[in-house]
């Protein structure tokens, strides 16, 4: 993998501990899921524990960093602004760590069919998971980026529990509240959810997916009838 670090040899794939920028980024996830609050919710507390236990096991395993080709999408034109706003807020540690690996991110849609309007305003990148770049079978960590004034259609995730932590920007889920950087939302497996974002700035969310390895390796994301389903 071209890690951008000239000291890493090309013959042997680097392992996690060989590349400090990835280690520091994952440590920011660990801090969020270890020291953040569960808000008194036992369900959120146990989700947070599952995420950090699987992340700790990944650190202990020191997996290879898999080769992923960096890719951009139209929404990544908003990424610099999202990081800038993020670096001035409560999630500045994560925003700064993410800035250091910004050139190595693979931005994706995930869906076979994308509505044209959403294709301009949404993309996600994985930083840890079955497909890498940091290899892990039972946890996916990544980021989703939305342009200002975006609606991410209603969907749910079969067998996968999902949490979002806001890094930059304001957003709402199911019209229930407005969330700021640092807020965490848990969508349990099967929970329907729909996201909208504020109209002035982009919104950058960190996310964690916990589920069975078979499901995480092939989540089969689909859009149909205006609804996104996994």
Burial class of residue 114 (count of CB atoms within 10 Å of its CB; 0-12, 13-18, 19+): middle
In the stretch 161-190, what mask flags binding to Fe ion with x, by CB under 5 A?
A: -x----------------------------
59 or 207: CB nearest Fe ion:
207
Q: How far apart are CA 50 and CA 61, in angstroms?
A: 17
Instruction: Say which DSSP state 13 is in.
Output: P
From 11-19, 36-44, 99-107, 157-165, span contacting Fe ion (CB under 5 A): 157-165
119 or 221: CB nearest Fe ion:
221
Within positions 106 to 125, which residues make up the interface with Fe ion, using CB under 5 A? none
Least gap, CB of 21 to Fe ion (angstroms): 27
Number of residues that bind Fe ion (CB under 5 A): 1
* Burial per residue of 201-217, b for 16 or more beta-carbon CB atoms within 10 angstroms, e otherwise: bbbbbbbbbbbeeebbe
63 or 211: CB nearest Fe ion:
211
81 or 229: CB nearest Fe ion:
229
Least gap, CB of 193 to Fe ion (angstroms): 6
Residue position matching structure tokens 């989540």: 219
Cα–chain center distance at 42: 23
Q: How far apart are CA 170 and CA 106, in angstroms?
A: 24
Binding site for Fe ion (CB under 5 A): 162
């Amino acid at each position: 993998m071209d890690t951008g670090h000239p000291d890493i040899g090309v013959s042997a794939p680097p392992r996690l501990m060989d590349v400090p920028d990835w280690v520091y980024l994952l440590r920011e996830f660990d801090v969020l899921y270890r020291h953040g609050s569960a808000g008194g919710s036992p369900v959120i507390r146990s989700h947070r524990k599952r995420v950090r236990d699987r992340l700790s096991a990944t650190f202990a395993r020191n997996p290879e960093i898999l080769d992923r080709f960096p890719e951009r999408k139209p929404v990544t034109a908003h990424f610099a602004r999202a990081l800038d706003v993020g670096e001035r807020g409560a999630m500045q540690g994560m925003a700064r760590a993410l800035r250091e690996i910004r050139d190595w991110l693979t931005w994706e849609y995930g869906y076979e069919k994308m509505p044209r309007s959403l294709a301009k305003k949404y993309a996600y990148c994985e930083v840890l998971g079955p497909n890498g770049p940091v290899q892990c079978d039972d946890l996916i960590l990544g980021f989703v980026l939305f342009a200002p004034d975006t609606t991410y259609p209603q969907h749910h995730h079969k067998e996968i529990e999902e949490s979002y932590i806001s890094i930059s920007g304001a957003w709402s889920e199911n019209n229930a509240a407005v969330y700021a950087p640092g807020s965490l939302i848990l969508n349990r497996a099967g929970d329907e959810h729909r996201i909208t974002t504020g109209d002035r700035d982009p919104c950058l969310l960190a996310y964690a997916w916990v589920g069975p390895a078979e499901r995480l390796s092939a989540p089969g994301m689909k859009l149909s009838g205006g609804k996104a389903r996994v």
